[in-house]
Amino acid sequence: MNTALINMAMQTTLAAIEPRTIAQRAAESAHENLWITAGYFLAAIVGVALLLSFLGMALIYIERKVAAAFQCRIGPNRVGPWGLLQTVADTLKLVFKEDFVPQMADRTLHMIAPFLALLVPVVLLALIPYSPALQVADLNIGILFITAIGGFGVMGILIAGWSSNNKWSMIGAMRAGAQIISYELSATLALLVVVLFSGTMSLTGIVQSQEDGWWIWRGHAAGLCAFIIYLVASTAELNRTPFDIPEGESELTAGFHTEYSGLRFAFFFLAEFINMFTVSALTATLFLGGWMPFHIGDWTSFNSAMDAIPPSIWFLGKVTAIIFVIMWFRWTFPRLRVDQLMHLEWKVLLPIGFANLFIAAIIVLANAYPYPVAGQ
Amino acid sequence: MSVQVRTLDDLLHAPLDADSELTTQEYLVNMGPQHPIAHGSLRVVLRLDGETVKHVIPVPGYVHRGVEKMCEHLTYRQIIPYTDRLDYLSAIMNNWAVAKTVEKAANIPTNERIDTIRTIMSELQRLQSHALWWGVTGMDLGAYTAFLYGFREREIIGEIFEETIGARLTMNYIQPGGLMYDIKPDFAQKVKNLLPYLKGCIEQYETLLSGNVIFQERLRNIGILDGKHAIALGCTGPVLRASGVPYDLRAVEPYGVYDKVNFNVVVGEVGDCWDRYYVRLEEMRESVRIVEQLIDNIPEGPHATIRYNEEIILPEGLHYGQVETARGVFGVFIASDGKNKCPIRLHFRSPNFNNLWIVTAIASGWRIADFISIQSSLDLVIPDIDR
Amino acid sequence: MGAKGQSMDTKSLLALVVSLHPTVQRRANADRLAIVVPVDDLLEVMKTLRDHQELKFDLFVAHTAIDQIEANRFELVYILSSTMHGNNIYVTAYIGRENPVAPSMVALWPIAEWQEREAYDLLGLLYDNHPDLRRVFLEDDWIGFPLRKDYRDPYMLDLPK
């Protein structure tokens, strides 16, 4: 699934070769030499581990620095240059902490839950086109797969809350269940708008369909509206402020992970950050053209200057911008109450989402884009 | 005659109703003594039906130190440091309450300078306390950034205190018959430099939180307490004023130099959490006004009218003095036998102890998150409840 | 509401209260008007103090008691204020140490419920018709009432003379 990662490093060499996903490469080599396939798998596992730890640490470091900037502080600056090693030190601390399981907890489920929570974002990483040459698997039903797997993410949280045998955890898990399942509807409706526009469910296909303009502004207001709905709904699925009621610190101490410590707590933590990366990457891919550079009409010199920037840099830049917006939410907003949260979803976002989908369908049927689109 | 003594266990082991329409099961949770909303160690037992709070049982006492018993063996000057440790965010005002009671009972005079400095210091501390409270409320409602903004102002005012008093938290500053230390020559200038900054901060608070739609949704029309009930439930301070009762000791029975300054008693209209929030913000503005009026004309004079080691013996009888702290009426009741240096009975009328219990009256029927808003809007300091 | 100062002086306040309840006497040695009420009349007098148009003592500021061990009695002290008229008053009553039962003021001022619980917890006063008489600070299995003058526990040290 997910060798994406190693390939980050190998990317420059790969760019020259004909674009193929890692999954394709592995499948091809299986006909020739099984050892090469095995090598791909081994590399994939190492790659995933490296990418996860790198992403986790980098995002935590960024989050802390961003938070510090919002709060008139400096942030980590003691361990290593500019505090870069602070997250490494924190990770080591978490590794060596006692892995505590409450006496009355359901031991097996308590152990499994963090891995389930981490599994979903990691699987989704495989679908993301990082650059033309760098994608693990390009499914032709990509969007369907994302929705299906994404909905599975709540399982880890529910199991964690239930197995901890703690009332706060249980309330947190129940809140998370209600919240994530509700907001998935809106997120899916927003995804469908892009599917309608691009006429494909394959993520690479969606990126390629945005060659002449990103969907966020090419579908009149419908694309922008879908973008905003998706950003809000996926922030809610991430359980981050202002939608962090499942772990709202001042209410539920730590919500569903109250009873977790050490490495297992770190897994929840990591899951949240990888999830944030996945969501940002999907938003960038669907609405902001993925690795497509920014082009303006027929300003050829401007466009070629934009083309000079490598696609993976474009992609990472867009992802970083969205991650920053999500962090911005977190450090400026208070938390919603549970019924206000449901009100926002079922009475505001969902009707708007349906109306938006309808409008998008009309735009597509009438082929009424603001400017002509090549190939459609 | 029906005297029936109960225990907490009787309440906790009482059968729980399954009285909602879907016959869900009610359950009890302990919010505290170790919980982020406890702000110290206050235990609150909640009876919940899903997310809805059915019944609230506050269980204070986790920081009970028997201050009143200790005070029976302390001279009046020795009592002062103990009051710092009750409501530690109103330490100077608590000092003043004891000093005021003792001065009135023992006929110890003060002078204009002492009164002016006491008033300035108290208002600065009220600003400090409300700034911290603002930050903590933000944090309780999930806006963690606000917490650090509130703390920033608190530290800056703390510097002023530290320069004069030598302490940032437990001041031990106002003594019977004067002040522990005189102010430094540049005190007035420093405070004058601080005031425009604080005004800017209050505006910043408004833009950061007050205007936020989520924040307003979380506070407006939550936990409504009308004036009549507020008085009957014995609450004082901003909580009472938010319910529309203009009862402020600084205006009703002025002490210090409050009768020489102009300020408004801020009252709310609805008595919900939002009013309690906004009354405090407005009070910060009024406190800045009070300090502004006083800081230019601090009269000359000695900073104490009696020696620090002078023996104080109160005449026989009952003595009571009260001041308006950042949280309400802090009173000191002293019963003296006229012979000893120590009181035979001393009782602190604590604003937090009396304000706490309104949660039992207004919190049921709201959600867990609203309970957080309500408790946060009461601005409780736990050591003052437990004493 | 919130008028500065007091609506009547100590003398007329006392005269008014005495005219309403002849059993009330003035308690000497207090920094404001203090009245002594026989404990049987306490509830009646308090009700008058709260409800009478010219008295209106609506704020139950504090309630505590003094352990007068030599006289073998507790002196109950209620501090009342009027947010309308600005008046302050002490109401005191004596109850015996052996059977320290006092009427509960919960029906008049809800806040009395917890202030009386505090007095029960620390001084061992019992309140008639109190809805929820429990300890408030100390644990339920605490032995004795610490603010009584004769309270001892195994860890207490004597004050050096």
The predicted structure's pLDDT at residue C85: 80
Distance of CA B310 to the CA centre of its chain: 31
Interface residue A335 vs chain B (CB under 8 A): yes
User: What number of other Cβ atoms are within 10 A of residue C142's Cβ?
Assistant: 12
Question: In this structure, is residue C129 part of a structural domain?
Answer: no
The predicted structure's pLDDT at residue B72: 87
Cα–Cα distance measured from residue C24 to residue C21, given in angstroms and rounded to the nearest whole number: 6
Q: Say which of B27, B215, B368 has its CB closest to residue A251.
A: B368
Average pLDDT in chain A: 80
Mean pLDDT value of segment B184-192 = 88
Cα–Cα distance measured from residue B122 to residue B91, given in angstroms and rounded to the nearest whole number: 9
Closest Cα to residue B288, out of B265, B263, B266?
B263
A residues 308..327 contacting B (CB < 8 A): none
Structure confidence by residue, pLDDT tens digits, A124-171: 887 888 777 666 677 778 888 888 888 788 888 888 888 888 888 888
User: What number of other Cβ atoms are within 10 A of residue A74's Cβ?
Assistant: 12
Interface residue B197 vs chain A (CB under 8 A): no
Cα distances from A142 to residues A124, A286, A322, B315, C52, in angstroms, run 10, 11, 21, 87, 79
Q: Say which of B148, B218, B370 has its CB closest to residue A71.
A: B148
Q: Above 50 in pLDDT, residue A375?
A: no
Mean pLDDT value of segment B123-142 = 90
Interface residue A106 vs chain B (CB under 8 A): no
Q: Above 70 in pLDDT, residue A52?
A: yes
Contacts of A167 in chain B (CB under 8 A): 27, 29
Interface residue C109 vs chain B (CB under 8 A): yes
H-helix or E-strand spanning residue C81? strand C73-81
Cα distances from C131 to residues B45, B357, C104, in angstroms, run 18, 15, 9
Contact B215, B338 (CB under 8 A): no
The predicted structure's pLDDT at residue C3: 47
Q: Above 60 in pLDDT, residue B84?
A: yes
Provide the shortest C-alpha distance from residue B317 to chain C (in Å): 4
Q: Which of C68, C83, C105 to mutate to test the interface with B (most CBs of B within 10 A)?
A: C83
Confidence band, pLDDT 50/70/90 cuts, at residue A37: confident
Contacts of C129 in chain B (CB under 8 A): 2
Q: Which residue of C has its CA nearest to B346?
A: C66
Contact B42, B376 (CB under 8 A): no
Interface residue C15 vs chain B (CB under 8 A): no
Question: In this structure, is residue C64 part of a structural domain?
Answer: yes
Identity at A21, one-letter amino acid code: T
Provide the shortest C-alpha distance from residue B143 to chain C (in Å): 33
Domain coverage including residue C54: 10-99
Q: Are residues B4 and C83, on separate chains, in Cβ contact within 8 Å?
A: no
- Which range (A57-61, A252-256, B59-63, C37-41) has the least confidence? A252-256
Interface residue B144 vs chain A (CB under 8 A): yes
Contact B347, C66 (CB under 8 A): no
The predicted structure's pLDDT at residue A376: 40
Interface residue A248 vs chain B (CB under 8 A): yes
Compute the residue count for chain A: 376
Give SS3 for A181: helix
C96-130 b/e (C-beta count within 10 Å ≥ 16 → b): ebeebebbbbbebbbbbbbbbbbbbbbbbbbbeeb
Q: What domain count does chain C have?
A: 1
Tokens standing for residue A235: 């922030």
Q: The dihedral of CA B304, B308, B311, B314: what is its sign?
A: positive
Contact B100, B107 (CB under 8 A): no
CATH number at residue C35: 3.30.460.80
Mean pLDDT value of segment A307-331 = 85
Contacts of A242 in chain B (CB under 8 A): 142, 214
Structure confidence by residue, pLDDT tens digits, A238-261: 888 788 887 777 778 777 888 888
Touch of B by A (3+ CB pairs closer than 8 Å): yes
Touch of B by C (3+ CB pairs closer than 8 Å): yes
Q: Are residues B232 and C111, on separate chains, in Cβ contact within 8 Å?
A: yes
Q: Are residues C118 and B353, on separate chains, in Cβ contact within 8 Å?
A: yes
Cα distances from B237 to residues A41, A156, A267, B247, in angstroms, run 68, 47, 46, 8
The predicted structure's pLDDT at residue B130: 92
The predicted structure's pLDDT at residue A13: 42
Contacts of B353 in chain C (CB under 8 A): 114, 118
Cα–Cα distance measured from residue B346 to residue B334, given in angstroms and rounded to the nearest whole number: 5
H-helix or E-strand spanning residue B48? strand B43-49
Find where tokens 């550079």 sit.
A293
Contacts of A339 in chain B (CB under 8 A): 51, 367
Q: Above 70 in pLDDT, residue A55?
A: yes
- Give the angle C91-C95-C96 at the CA atoms, nearest 5°: 160
In sequence order, the β-bridge partners of residue B178 are B175, B304
Interface residue C161 vs chain B (CB under 8 A): no
The predicted structure's pLDDT at residue A4: 52
Structure confidence by residue, pLDDT tens digits, B269-307: 888 889 999 999 999 999 998 998 888 888 888 888 888
Q: Which of B25, B49, B51 to mutate to test the interface with A (most CBs of A within 10 A)?
A: B51
Q: Are residues C1 and B2, on separate chains, in Cβ contact within 8 Å?
A: no
Provide the shortest C-alpha distance from residue C20 to chain B (in Å): 23
Q: Say which of A249, A335, A339 has its CB closest to residue B367.
A: A339
Q: Are residues C1 and B246, on separate chains, in Cβ contact within 8 Å?
A: yes
Mean pLDDT value of segment C120-130 = 88
The predicted structure's pLDDT at residue A19: 52
Tokens standing for residue A318: 């867009």
Cα–Cα distance measured from residue A336 to residue B369, given in angstroms and rounded to the nearest whole number: 9
Helix, strand and coil content of chain C, in percent to the nearest 5, comes to: 20, 25, 50
Distance of CA B82 to the CA centre of its chain: 16
Cα–Cα distance measured from residue B203 to residue B195, given in angstroms and rounded to the nearest whole number: 13
Contacts of C67 in chain B (CB under 8 A): 345
Instruction: Please state, for a pLDDT cut of 90, what percent of chain B lies above it.
Output: 10
The predicted structure's pLDDT at residue B28: 85
Interface residue A73 vs chain B (CB under 8 A): yes
Confidence band, pLDDT 50/70/90 cuts, at residue A198: confident
Cα distances from B367 to residues A173, B48, B52, B303, in angstroms, run 16, 9, 4, 52
Q: Are residues C31 and B104, on separate chains, in Cβ contact within 8 Å?
A: yes
The predicted structure's pLDDT at residue C151: 86
The predicted structure's pLDDT at residue A255: 79
The predicted structure's pLDDT at residue B18: 58
Residue A363 vs residue A295, higher pLDDT? A363
Q: Which of B144, B216, B218, B277 to mutate to test the interface with A (most CBs of A within 10 A)?
A: B144
Provide the shortest C-alpha distance from residue B4 to chain C (in Å): 7
- Give the angle B65-B68-B70 at the CA atoms, nearest 5°: 75
Question: In this structure, is residue C55 part of a structural domain?
Answer: yes
- Rg for chain A (alpha carbons), in Å? 21
Average pLDDT in chain B: 86
Average pLDDT in chain C: 84
Contact B35, B372 (CB under 8 A): no
Structure confidence by residue, pLDDT tens digits, A79-90: 888 888 888 888
Q: Say which of B329, B333, B354 has its CB closest to residue C77.
A: B333
Closest Cα to residue B376, out of A72, A335, C134, A242?
A335
Q: Are residues B9 and C28, on separate chains, in Cβ contact within 8 Å?
A: no
The predicted structure's pLDDT at residue A371: 59
Cα–Cα distance measured from residue B80 to residue A362, given in angstroms and rounded to the nearest whole number: 77
Mean pLDDT value of segment B86-102 = 90
> B187-205 and B112-140 are packed helices; what angle lies between their axes, rounded to 10 degrees?
30
Structure confidence by residue, pLDDT tens digits, B230-246: 888 888 889 989 988 88
Task: List, in sequence order, the alpha helices (H) in chain A.
Answer: 4-16, 22-32, 34-70, 86-96, 107-125, 142-163, 167-198, 203-208, 215-218, 220-237, 249-252, 262-287, 300-307, 311-332, 338-343, 350-366
Across the B/C interface, how many CB contacts are shorter than 8 Å?
143
User: What number of other Cβ atoms are within 10 A of residue A32's Cβ?
Assistant: 9
Q: Above 80 in pLDDT, residue C155?
A: yes
Binding partners of B (≥3 Cβ pairs within 8 A) = A, C
Q: Say which of C5, C133, C147 has its CB closest to residue B4.
A: C133
Burial class for C36, CB neighbours closer than 10 Å (0-12, 13-18, 19+): middle
Cα–Cα distance measured from residue C88 to residue B251, given in angstroms and rounded to the nearest whole number: 15
Identity at B233, one-letter amino acid code: L
Contact A338, A242 (CB under 8 A): no
Q: Say which of A70, A167, A334 has its CB closest to residue B142.
A: A334
A residues 156..215 contacting B (CB < 8 A): 167-168, 171
Closest Cα to residue B77, out of B182, B175, B179?
B175
Q: Which residue of B has its CA nearest to A246?
A: B369
Closest Cα to residue B239, out of B118, B54, B387, B375?
B375
Tokens standing for residue A332: 């400026």
Q: What φ, ψ does residue C145 adopt, rounded to 5°?
A: -130, 105
Cα–Cα distance measured from residue B331 to residue B237, given in angstroms and rounded to the nearest whole number: 12
Tokens standing for residue B247: 């009862």
Provide the shortest C-alpha distance from residue B255 to chain A (in Å): 38
What class does CATH assign to B67-386?
mainly alpha
Identity at C13, one-letter amino acid code: L
Q: Which residue of B has its CA nearest to C104?
A: B3
Q: Are residues B345 and C127, on separate chains, in Cβ contact within 8 Å?
A: no
C residues 45..84 contacting B (CB < 8 A): 58-62, 64-67, 77, 79, 83
Q: Say which of A167, A249, A252 has its CB closest to residue B27.
A: A167
- Which range (A285-299, B27-41, B372-386) has the least confidence? A285-299
Mean pLDDT value of segment A301-312 = 76
Provide the shortest C-alpha distance from residue B370 to chain C (in Å): 23
Mean pLDDT value of segment A270-285 = 87
Q: Are residues B372 and A334, on separate chains, in Cβ contact within 8 Å?
A: no
Confidence band, pLDDT 50/70/90 cuts, at residue C1: very low
Cα distances from C62 to residues A110, B234, B250, in angstroms, run 51, 9, 19
Tokens standing for residue A55: 């992403």
Confidence band, pLDDT 50/70/90 cuts, at residue B1: low
> C10-20 and C42-51 are packed helices; what angle lies between their axes, rounded to 10 degrees?
120
Tell me, letter by letter, the H, E, C secondary structure of C122-161: HHCCEEECCCCECCCCCCCCCCCCCCCCCCCCCCCCCCCC
